[in-house]
Amino acid sequence: MAELAALETKLGYTFKDKRLLETAFTHRSYLNENRTLGREHNERLEFLGDAVLELVVTEFLYTKYPQKPEGELTAFRAALVNTQSIAGAGTKLGINDYLMLSKGESKDTGRARLIILANAFEALIGALYLDSGYETAKKFIADQLFHKTDEVVEKGLWQDAKSKLQEIAQEREGITPTYQVVSQAGPDHDKTFLIGAFIGTERLATGEGRSKQEAEQDAAQKALAAKGW
């Protein structure tokens, strides 16, 4: 694992409590293999960071788009803070280099790693909030995410993939898509869902997410791509 001081340099911020920064990147699986460390994993910080992230982005969008209705603002926010978006921001920061994972988790490079990255990004927000308050966390979020907003809005990336798939499927096939849980993994407080998108009996794609809703959206997006819609 790279030295956390290098990340502080990237952030332009030095933690007063270094344990918060360590905890932000400590995955539950790492502690399962290193039980003697007596360290906390990052799930509580992730819980806090998720709430701070939602408030900061909500405040930003509310101010930036004074004429937009609640429904569109909600969709903009969802596009900015979904797993892919914040995992992407985490990847640009190089969070991968600082993650403390089990040997098994460290080999995973697929959707599961995206979720781990997204969780760590939120945990880092929680750590910044506890170490220095709302304004520091807000500045970090602004630096990492706000620049994506114009592209999200202009390119329609905020549009609901499930609604789009339903509209096109009904128009072209005369069938309403359905969604089925293929599998779920993890404890109740940190589940990952794998959900299939179907037209009739044909499974078009599967999607993953930290909630059923997110997994369905991911499946719908992939189904649109698979059908060339």
Please tell me the distance from the alpha carbon of residue 138 to that of residue 53, in angstroms, as a whole number. 8
What type of residue is 37? L
Read out DSSP for 173-194? TS---EEEEEEEES-GGG-EEE
Task: Please identify which of the residues 122, 131, 208, 214 carries the catalytic annotation.
Answer: 122
For 209, the enclosing helix (H) or strand (E) is strand 202-209
Is-catalytic flag, 54? no
Is-catalytic flag, 218? no
- Terminal CA-CA length for the chain: 42
Task: Please identify which of the residues 46, 50, 105, 208 carries the catalytic annotation.
Answer: 50
Residues 6+ apart with CB under 8 A from 217: 82, 160, 161, 162, 207, 209
Please tell me the distance from the alpha carbon of residue 154 to that of residue 124, in angstroms, as a whole number. 29
Read out DSSP for 5-34? HHHHHHHT---SSHHHHHHHTB-HHHHHH-
Helix (H, G, I), strand (E, B) or coil at 49: helix
Residues taking part in catalysis? 50, 122
